[in-house]
Structure 1
Amino acid sequence: MQSTQLPVPVAASLQQPIAVSATFTAEPLEESLAFWMEKLAIPASIEFAPYNQIFQQLLDPTSLFAQNQTGVNLLLVRFEDWWRFSQTEDTSDTQRLAEVQRNAQELCQALQAALNRSAAAHILCICPPSPAVQNHPDWPIAFQAIEEQFLSELGGASNFHLLRSPDFERYASASVYAPERDRLGHIPYTPDFFTALGTTLARRIYAIKRSPYKVIALDCDNTIWKGIVGEDGVDGIEFSAPFQALQQFMIEQQNAGMVLCLCSKNNEADVMEVFEKRPDMPLKLDHLVSWRINWLPKSGNLRSLAADLNLGLDSFIFLDDNPVECAEVRTNCPEVLTLQLPKREEDIPAFLAHVWAFDHLTVTEEDRKRTALYQQNVARSRLEKEATSIEAFLSSLELSVDIAVPTEEQQPRVAQLTQRTNQFNCTTRRRSEADIQQLAAQGLESRAIEVRDRFGDYGLVGVMIFGDRAAALEVDTFLLSCRVLGRGVEYQMLRELGQLAQQRGLPTVRVPFIPSKKNQPALSFLERCGADFKTTTDEGFCFEFPTDYAAQLAYNPSANPSDTARSDADPTSPQPQAKASVQSNKPEPINRSERLQMIATELRSPTQILQHIRRQGKAVRPDLGHELVPPRTTTEQKLVKIWSELLKLDTVGVTDNYFDLGGTSLLAVEVFVKIQKTFGQKLPLTTLVERPTIEALAQRLERKKRRSQEETPTSLVLLQSGNADPPLFLVHDGDGETLLYRNLAKRLAPRTVYGIQPLNRPGFPILHTRIADMAAYYIEQIRTVQPQGPYLLGGMCAGGVLSFEMACQLEAQGQQVALVALMDAADSQAEEKVGRIASERLSRFTQVLKQEGSRPAHERIVGVLGKMLNKASNLVRYETQSRSKAVTDRIRFKLLRFYLDRKAILPPFLANFPVRTVYELAEKEHVPHTDYSGNLLLLRATSGEGADEPHTCKYADPLLGWGQRTSKGVMGVTVYDVAGGHASMLQEPAVEDMAQRIRNHLEHNLANSLSLVQSGSR
């Protein structure tokens, strides 16, 4: 299919910033999100905030979110991530739920503050939980209550949007959760679901940014019913399930504010008879505002409907089953969004569900009344035709205009009018409710214009926003719905501004005019009122009306013929072009209908979308300064295929460096997931640091395949080579990974940096069950590259505990240790704050009491007791389940130790025992040293990230227990607070702060250690 483009919803020269922050690694989202922004012709720049920093993004005035005032901020939350970094074997379900509820409340407060400060749209997306959480009998219900809380407390803000499970259902994916990706890089979802997530978010962004459609024009035969009424007769046409679904869908659209019309080649009497005699037809004449049922070209009939409704053709959606009729409308009315129904009737419901133009962000009371309002307009049009003069017509209308400060309930409609009004809109400045609130804070005022006549209430149809500026009453927004044009309302609005200026002693009413493609009627009005007061500006024109002149304006229809009134020109003839003065530089829409048609038919599932993305051309391999070496073995061929697919390169050579090709640590997760599926082998992420070429990686895979179970690899991983001695050794975290130190290693260049990963064998990720044994083995490893001290050690969390044990053992061996860097690591026996859990439980009990507070006393007692019994029952059941798992883990742990101590062959049932579980059980029985004579460097996180709070919030001791481990007491611990949270302190840009602290510490302490070593050797 030939590439097409959708209309640009915003000025092409303006980049729409899309900022993303998540509780998990969300960068895989970029592929599908960028694909949709390009397809939708939304010029967007997508940028990701540092890992797991949602709270910082909302609260920090210098954050990525805070700087984004015109685009969209995306917040992706998976509730269980809030306990990911704080859970231990002893963490109960009750504690975890309390942690989520506490962070949800804090997120609600942070979001409220951000929404008040920023006009940018904020989309909070509640992402699906893992199967273990989803299948839990209590958590889904509790999480749903939290979602309702978000909606209740934030749903009133016009720049807040909530996405949750039902919003993903139309893009249902067979596979959602990816446990191996989650383990390796906290990437919890499959590529299919990330595509579904990106598509759902893009669809919401499109709804936020596009101009709304207002009218749906429907064909009749084989569109709203099956058959041809002129041939089959009224009783012969069918309303099968798909056509019933279509009619019901249109009624829902009408309830959401769309105007329904018919545009059909048929005998009008036949169609009317169907509506009269077929009670099994959901769609009724009352749902319709107007129709054109004749044998004229449908493009002409659509123009006639547009003239009747006083709307632009680009606010129309036309639905027909006939490809010839669709082609005729697309050719002669390209502004209309023309959609052809699928040939197979059973595909109709799915097709309608995937037409993005039918999405509605909010539905106001004005929307629900829109059909009645337009039906009243039809009656007014008939009266106008029958009137002997325009004066007689206006007199018979009994028009009443009310201009007042808008109430709080009217604010959504005021914002909606600024977003939807095109023709009579002097500046076409689109405003959200938050924007209008900000303007009010800056001293600007608003007026809402309500109009009614003897036929009914037009509702809130006009808005003025203005303020005192430079000795003038300066207008920001001056708009009026096209429904009331030609009634003189606009004159009353300008007169009101003149009278306000008089009261304030201001000599001028200043009305700017910024031309757009459609607002010629507004310019014509201003020129009729005072062409002599018009001056040219950079944006367009400015009308400086003298206050006394504006305050006395009156509408004289005979002296001021309005070109905004209904035209009697032949609707089938081409429409005249707008004046050159209001021409826009924005390009004309190109094949908008074809593109949205394609989305609704060909891009309805994650699989279809992914295939479409991957069919796009791959980039050419970059110039790396050496010739491409093709694969020579089957293993290399498979790896080339994996790399080229994930790196999106036409080809790669087996000697090309992964990182030189643009590979990232994030993408490495996908590489190793593919390797595991292709070769059936699990490799640590740091393998790419050790072996960054396909040639070396293939050798590792082949050797690992041939290696017997008794052989053991080295645990050292070279993260950064350099010429500064001695090297720094960073011990793995609780999951056994060291790739998390890569950013820090690069920042510490030119010092050589090694990672230390657990001793492992194929299928057995860790082969030690005691902290002391792990430390002793790691010391053996580091002494193969550095036989003598001084040694530089460090690690995150578990890595900090292991580094301390290594330092104690090295000191006992007479070796000098110049650095033990404890990166937000708590001592294994550090005590949590007293009463912390009890306080949380009391808070939850108080919440239960509050929920029952409005009920009668006896019902309140019964309700509280019922809830407490239910909670107790659930607690007993799930504590039993968790304790059962804990017992199983301990048994496996003891058996693993039994076989390892005897150097026996490990049985298969002990395979894939997680590193974290083994480490946590080993730590529980570990007794740390208390007489270390050296100094410790404690690097504490400073910012909380949901459940990922700084350890200083969790533990009573600000030194996290380390003061009791040195012979110097607290004087032996040097403490620095570093940027970032527990999970982000090693990510860019926070890692630079940690790197600088380590460099400064080494600068002051390493020279002393080296001199001690040298004096000892003498």
Structure 2
Amino acid sequence: VHDVVVTALVDPPAVTRLVAYVVGRPGRRTPAPAALRRALRATLPEYMVPAAIVPMPELPRNERGKVDRAKLPGAPSLEVEMVEGEYDQWELVVGQIWAEVLGLRGVHLDEDFTALGGDSLSAEEMLAIVQARLGVDLRASELLEQPTLRAFARRVRSGAKSLPSHPDVVKVSEARVPGRPPVFCLSGAGALGLTFLPLSRYLPEHDVYAFQQHGLERRAIPDWSIQRTARRTVELMRIVQPRGPYLLVGHSLGGLVALEVAKLLTEGGERVEHVAILDSYLPRSSTEQAQLHFGRMAESPVRNPALRALKRGLDRAAKRILPAGVPVGEEFAKRVRAYGAGVLRYGGQKDFDALFDQATIVTRRHTPSPYDGTATFVLADGNPDVDGWNDVLRGATTTVRIESEHSSLLREPHVAELATALRAAFTTQEARP
């Protein structure tokens, strides 16, 4: 870099962001904004990294030789936070790869790869990561044909469907420092195993495998009990790693499955080295869920107390007939969709939502098995079961609190803090005799 000026973009009520205008050294290749962002993030705190970097042939200056900020061009599109619900599962996974390569926190669905600062070198790097992690071999010309995240993620997904691989498990990353056992990650309800991809980057000592619900990506009847899911998971795990010690990480629903997996392995004479439960909720009936939900509603004066009382009355009346509660309105539609999950295709994100609804029903019927081994319980914002897990995790358990929304726990910037806790737990366990 030969010359640079950084300005503050103030646009209330949005957060003030930094924009850098950069001039490359004469006779040198112009540095790509993506490469600059990654270099800055390696040395600066996050708030000092410019949200946008604009390459310039030269900076405009006034007659006194100072930078004329009024003549600087407007800032390009700024990086965004990738919010669950606005992206489908594949858009999140591919978006995380784009963000990694481009040095961004997140990428908007309709942003162009090159417009975000990507050049030919970063494009080749991105395609190599897509092939290594997702198994889809694409050419640079296909990035030109599908230049936005939305279109490119659709292309990656279509390529992944044709791959000869197991539908329930994916190898997310390979150990760069061999010698430690693999980490088996179990995903949440309706979530791809590839959501563990950001976490895997922080675990270079381990192969990382991720499991997802049966029927999530290929048409199949899903498991209708967590015990059945655990048995299926153990069968696949023992193909990868026939003997212990085993490292298990379960997010949300995956935490409940991880406990059952640990139980099966222990009963089979194997050693489970560590189990990490990532913000899992304890099973509860729809009546209990309604009470929890309406209890939170009571804190807000804008909610209708008459509606709250009516719902509670209906739940009490139905409890003797249907312990899971009576599905009404939207709940009824979800229940119907859940019973077709994995077999019927609803299209796009609705397929994942159907498996989520199905897992909700399965979870209500489940009673977690107490676990006496070493565990880490990671608690994110809003988890109502802070104390309840004490009755389940009866061994040496470390509780880690991370200020994060439930699903964002596995994404930047929170995943870095999560990985630090997990690596410390795995290292401590390894050091024990």
Q: Identify the TM-score tier after normalising by the shorter chain.
A: 0.5 to 0.7
What's the TM-score once normalised by structure 2's chain length?
Answer: 0.61
* CA distance in 2: counterparts of 1:922 and 1:701, whole angstroms: 27
Kindly provide the CA deviation profile for residues 453-504 of structure 1, in whole angstroms up to 9, marking residues without a partner as x.
xxxxxxxxxxxxxxxxxxxxxxxxxxxxxxxxxxxxxxxxxxxxxxxxxxxx
Question: Aligned letter for 2:120?
Answer: R
- Measured after TM superposition, the shift of residue 737 of structure 1 is 1.4
Q: Distance in 2 between matches of 1:734 and 1:817?
A: 24
Partner of 1:740: 195
Are 1:933 and 2:372 an aligned pair?
yes
User: Partners of 2:216 and 2:405 in 1: how far apart?
Assistant: 33
Q: Equivalent residues in 2 for 1:399-798 (5 A)?
A: 621-622=120-121, 640-646=140-146, 667=149, 670-675=151-156, 681=158, 702-703=162-163, 713=167, 715-722=169-176, 723-760=178-215, 763-764=218-219, 767-798=222-253
The residue type paired with residue 329 of structure 2 is Q
Structure with greater Cα Rg: 1
Change in Cα spacing, 1:806 to 1:645, as seen in structure 2 (3 Å) is same
Give, in angstroms, the shift of residue 615 of structure 1.
Answer: 11
Deviation at 1:738, TM superposition (A): 2.5
Q: Is the CA contact (8 Å cut-off) linking 2:191 and 2:212 kept in structure 1?
A: yes
| Aligned equivalents of 1:775, 1:820: Cα separation in 2 | 14
* 1:884-903 Cα deviation digits (max 9, x unpaired): 3144235436xx7xxxxxxx
5+ residue gaps, structure 1, are 1-11, 22-32, 53-80, 85-177, 188-609, 629-635, 649-666, 682-696, 705-710, 850-867, 897-905, 942-948, 1012-1018
> What is the aligned partner in structure 2 of residue 978 from structure 1?
402
Deviation, 1:806, is 0.9
Residues 970-1018 of structure 1: CA deviation (Å, up to 9, x unaligned): x54321223534333333333222222212222222344xx5xxxxxxx
Q: Partner residue of 1:1003?
A: 427
> In 2 relative to 1, CA 838–714 (structure 1 residues): closer, same or farther, beyond 3 Å?
closer
2 CA distance for matches of 1:740 and 1:644?
Answer: 26
Cα displacement (A) at 1:701: 5.2
Question: CA 1:769–1:640 in 2, change beyond 3 Å: closer, same or farther?
Answer: farther
What aligned pairs does 1:877-888 form with structure 2 within 5 A after superposition? Answer: 880-888=328-336
Work out whether 1:810 is the aligned partner of 2:261: no
Distance 1:985 1:965, change over 3 A: same
Match of 1:950 among 359, 373, 382: 382
Asked whether the 8 Å contact 1:821–1:938 carries over to 2, the reply is yes
Query: What one-letter code is carried by the residue in structure 1 that aligns with 2:189?
Result: G
1:964 is aligned to 2:391: yes
CA root-mean-square deviation: 4.9
Q: Is the 8 A contact 1:734 1:919 kept in 2?
A: yes
Match of 2:359 in 1: 919
| CA distance 1:909–1:744, shift in 2 (3 Å) | closer
Taking the TM superposition and a 5 Å limit, the aligned residue runs for 1:4-153 are 13=5, 15-17=7-9, 41-44=72-75, 48=79
8 Å CA contact 1:732–1:757 kept in 2: the answer is yes
Say which SS state the counterpart of residue 724 (structure 1) adopts.
Answer: coil
Given that 2:172 and 2:196 are in contact with CA atoms closer than 8 Å, whether structure 1 keeps it comes out as: no
Supply the distance in 2 between the matched residues of 1:927 and 1:49 (Cα, whole angstroms): 40
Q: What's the CA shift for 1:813? A: 1.1
SS across alignment from 1:749: coil
Q: Which runs of 5+ in 2 are unaligned?
A: 16-50, 57-70, 94-109, 129-135, 315-326
Question: 1:602 aligns to what?
Answer: none
Q: What per-residue deviation string (whole Å, max 9, x for no partner) do you get for residues 194-234 of structure 1? A: xxxxxxxxxxxxxxxxxxxxxxxxxxxxxxxxxxxxxxxxx
Q: Distance in 1 between matches of 2:121 and 2:346?
A: 46
State the Cα distance separating 1:965 from its structure 2 match.
2.0
User: Could you tell me whether the CA contact under 8 Å between 2:170 and 2:194 is conserved in 1?
Assistant: no
Q: Which residue of 1 aligns with 2:104?
A: none
Distance of 2:166 and 2:411 partners within structure 1: 31
2:335/2:357 contact within 8 Å kept: no
Q: How far does residue 838 in structure 1 lie from its aligned partner after superposition?
A: 4.1
Distance 1:880 1:920, change over 3 A: closer
* Separation in 2, partners of 1:844, 1:804: 40
Equivalent residue number for residue 586 of structure 1: none
The answer to whether the Cα contact below 8 Å between 1:820 and 1:936 also exists between their aligned partners in 2 is yes
Letter in 2 for 1:983: S
Question: Is contact 1:759–1:766 with CA below 8 Å preserved after alignment?
Answer: yes
Instruction: Check conservation: 2:216, 2:355, Cα contact below 8 A.
Output: no
Counterparts of 2:406 and 2:224, CA distance in 1: 26
- Structure 1 match to 2:340: 892
Tell me the distance in 1 between the aligned counterparts of 2:246 and 2:233. Answer: 12
Contact preservation (8 Å) 1:800, 1:821: yes
Cα distance, 1:816 vs structure 2 = 0.9
- What amino acid sits opposite 2:239 in the alignment? T
Distance 1:825 1:986 in 2: 13
Distance verdict in 2 for CA 1:763–1:15, change over 3 Å: same
- Structure 1 residues 924 and 48, CA gap change in structure 2 (3 angstroms): same
Instruction: Give 1:185 deviation, angstroms.
Output: 4.5
The answer on 1:840 being equivalent to 2:304 is no
Which one-letter code corresponds to 1:950 in the other structure?
G
Report the secondary structure of 2:154's partner residue. helix
Q: Secondary structure in 2 aligned to 1:916? A: helix
Residue 18 to residue 797, structure 1, CA distance change in 2 (3 Å): farther
Q: What is the Cα deviation at residue 729 of structure 1?
A: 1.0
- Go from structure 1 to structure 2 and tell me whether the alpha carbon gap of 1:739 and 1:703 turns closer, same or farther (over 3 Å shift): closer
The Cα of 1:42 is off from its aligned counterpart by: 3.6
- CA pair 719-828 structure 1, distance change in 2 beyond 3 A: farther
1:784 alignment partner, SS class: helix
- Separation of aligned partners in 1, 2:79 and 2:216: 36
Q: Distance in 1 between matches of 2:162 and 2:304?
A: 60
Kindly indicate whether residue 414 of structure 2 is the aligned counterpart of residue 987 of structure 1.
no
User: How far apart in 2 are the matches of 1:839 and 1:731?
Assistant: 29
Kindly state the Cα deviation for residue 793 of structure 1 after the two structures are TM-superposed.
Answer: 0.2
Q: 1:770 to 1:643 in 2, by over 3 A?
A: farther
Q: Does structure 2 retain, via aligned residues, the 8 Å contact 1:775–1:806?
A: yes
Contact 1:15 1:43 in 2 (8 A): no
Alignment CA distance shift 1:940-1:49 (3 Å): farther
Residue pair 1:744, 1:986 contacting (<8 A) in 2 also: yes
Aligned twin of 1:330: none
SS at match of 1:993: helix
Task: Provide Cα deviations, 1:559-609, integer angstroms capped at 9, x if missing partner.
Answer: xxxxxxxxxxxxxxxxxxxxxxxxxxxxxxxxxxxxxxxxxxxxxxxxxxx
Mapped to 2, the partners of 1:826 and 1:778 lie a distance apart of: 20
TM-score (norm 1): 0.28
Counterpart contact for 2:374–2:396, Cα < 8 Å: yes
Taking the aligned partners of 1:780 and 1:881, their CA distance within structure 2 comes to 39
> Residue type of the partner of 2:121?
P
Please state how far the C-alpha of 1:745 moved relative to its aligned partner.
Answer: 1.4
Give yes or no for contact 2:113–2:147 (8 Å, CA) kept in 1.
no
SS at match of 1:814: coil
**Distance apart, 1:824 and its partner CA:** 1.4
Partner of 2:279: 824
Per-residue deviation, 1:826? 2.0
| Structure 1 residues 1005 and 748: alpha-carbon distance in aligned structure 2, compared to 1, 3 A threshold | same
Q: 1:51 to 1:908 in 2, by over 3 A?
A: closer
Once residues 750 and 982 of structure 1 are traced to their aligned partners in structure 2, the CA distance between those partners, rounded to angstroms, is: 26
SS at match of 2:180: strand
